[in-house]
Amino acid sequence: MKKLKKIAEGLGLVLTALVVAALCTWIAADDNDKAEVAQSLEGAVSEENEHEEPWGIDWDSLSQEIVAWVEVPNTSISQPIAKADKQNPNAYLFLDALGQGGYGTPYIDADCAEGSLLIPIYGHNMSNGSVFADFAKYSDEDYARSHSRIFLHTRDGGTYELSVIAVDVVDASAETVCPSFDDPRAIAEWIGKSDLVLLEYDGSSKVFAFATCSYQTTNSRTVVYALLEPKRLDMTNP
């Protein structure tokens, strides 16, 4: 695990620790309540709906702050992604994808500007194995390599493939979970110090950092770095 670095830019260490700690406060929620939240989203995703995109997401049923949907084959990860608002950056710790009270929705960091190269996305690790729980398994190299393809669906009808390039486990009490600098060389240096590096980052494309609670220590976070492939996929005939 890499040592704490002083970063002039980005999220303050204390604030970041508080935010990601809040992510973990929900994992012990009652399973019946979790089921209700899951059922509330069933209408947003289906295999057959003539008004939906080819992969079955009814964007109109979701909050306008839901900007994407992440899906990882052969895992439980199939989740909407919200863009946090700077005026209420932690709202989606508690709001569901319909904009109602619930157990949270994965969200892009409010400080992440449009066009940023590094895009942090925070999501709960629920005790029933839902939301981002399976991302915590990526610290195992065999698991990371066998689940290295991630798909990102966007409101404009696009589907993009991401490739996992690195995985880091950090102690949020003493380390920055995910920096916000946007210099390709700085990002490459940061990712290169991860606990597990599958591919070297060359600065050619955006990197998504999926962060969730894990339990190597009392305050650990697993961060999965995934490189955006430059080619948009044709999903009209999946």
pLDDT of residue 82: 93
Q: What is the pLDDT of residues 30-44, one digit of tens each?
A: 444 444 444 444 444
**High-pLDDT (> 70) share of the chain, %:** 74
CA dist., res. 221 & res. 224, Å (int): 10
Compute the 3-state secondary structure of the chain and give helix, strand, coil in percent, each to the nearest 5.
25, 30, 50
> How is 128-152 classified by DSSP, letter by letter?
TS-BTGGGGGGGSHHHHHHT-EEEE
Assign domain 13-233 one CATH number from 3.40.250.10, 2.40.260.10, 2.60.40.1220, 3.30.1320.10.
Answer: 2.40.260.10
Q: What is the pLDDT of residues 47-75, one digit of tens each?
A: 433 333 445 788 998 888 899 999 999 99
CA dist., res. 233 & res. 211, Å (int): 25
Neighbours of 227 (CB within 10 A): 22
β 78-83/159-171 pair status? unpaired
| Residue 234 pLDDT class (50, 70, 90 cuts) | low
Give the C-alpha distances (Å, rounded to integers) separating 189 from 12, 71, 174, 186, 221. Answer: 20, 28, 19, 5, 19
Q: pTM higher than 0.75 for the full model?
A: yes
Q: Domain extents for the chain?
A: 13-233
